[in-house]
């Protein structure tokens, strides 16, 4: 392994990315790894003090300002085979559309939604709950970050047909009008992760939120239900 040096930021507010720093510190010991998980700490003036060589973004729900991505090399990880699936809620849109596997694309942040050049892509299974998928993706992203740093990879412009996803809203998690048991199971599992609006049904008095769904061989679903009085 080459003797790599540099200062790198891991930008993520999700708890399943917490172990990334530990693993990267082991794999690339001479590098300085900094984890930012709070929006208030991701500030241009603070970045000027840190002087990062690269900013890796496994999971971030906020817009990266132009002054930041112009000055610093920002690399985001998107859960589609770009340019297919540009836009919001990639995991949920893939599952709703019947996919059970995808690619993670590591791309440079530039103007335009998910339009930047690509460093590399890796395969990802999207079976299981959303949280299981994100944990699985975290391991792959760690290997991608290591590969980008070790080999000083350069990004290449995207090629292929552009398709776009629309960001899903909390109201889209309502499963009341779904007609197939498979669809119900997919809705529950694709939203079963920290910070995501759970699949639900509701009436005038209560909201029923579903998690930990298991699709049985007889076509029935077992799931946990949280009942909230409105």
Nearest-Å Rg of the Cα atoms of the chain is 19
Confidence band for 62, pLDDT divided at 50, 70 and 90: confident
Domains in the chain, ordered, with CATH? 6-165 (3.40.50.170), 170-229 (3.10.25.20)
The average pLDDT across 49-76 equals 94
Q: Where are the beta strands (DSSP E) in 67-198?
A: 74-78, 86-87, 101-108, 118-125, 164-165
DSSP 57-95: EEE--SPPPHHHHHHS-EEEEESS-TTTTEES-HHHHHH
Res 1: pLDDT: 44
The pair of structure tokens assigned to 65 is 């300002």
The average pLDDT across 137-141 equals 94
pLDDT digits (tens, 9 = 90+) for 33-49: 999 988 999 999 999 99
d(CA 147, CA 141): 10
Burial pattern 186-198, b for ≥16 Cβ within 10 A else e, equals bbbbbbbbeebeb
Which among 170, 184, 196, 18 is positioned nearest to 91, based on CA atoms? 196
């Amino acid at each position: 392994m080459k003797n790599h040096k540099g200062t790198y930021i891991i930008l993520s507010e999700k708890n399943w990315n917490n172990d990334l720093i530990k693993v990267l510190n082991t794999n690339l010991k001479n590098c300085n790894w900094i984890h930012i998980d709070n929006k208030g700490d991701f500030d241009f003036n603070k970045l000027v003090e840190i002087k990062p060589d690269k900013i890796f973004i496994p999971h971030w729900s906020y817009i990266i300002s132009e002054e930041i991505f112009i000055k610093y090399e920002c690399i985001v990880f998107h859960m589609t085979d770009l340019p297919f699936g540009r836009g919001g809620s990639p995991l949920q849109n893939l599952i709703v559309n019947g996919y059970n596997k995808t690619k993670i694309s590591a791309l440079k942040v530039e103007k335009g939604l998910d339009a930047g050049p690509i460093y590399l892509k890796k395969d990802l299974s999207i079976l299981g709950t959303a949280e299981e998928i994100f944990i699985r993706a975290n391991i792959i992203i760690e290997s991608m970050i290591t590969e980008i740093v070790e080999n000083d990879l350069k990004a290449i412009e995207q090629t292929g047909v552009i398709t776009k996803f629309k960001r899903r809203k909390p109201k889209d998690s309502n499963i009341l009008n779904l007609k197939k048991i498979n669809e119900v199971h997919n809705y529950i599992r694709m939203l079963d992760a920290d910070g995501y609006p759970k699949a639900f049904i509701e009436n005038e008095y209560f909201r029923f939120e579903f998690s930990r769904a298991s699709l049985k061989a007889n076509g029935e679903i077992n799931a946990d239900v949280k009942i909230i009085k409105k």
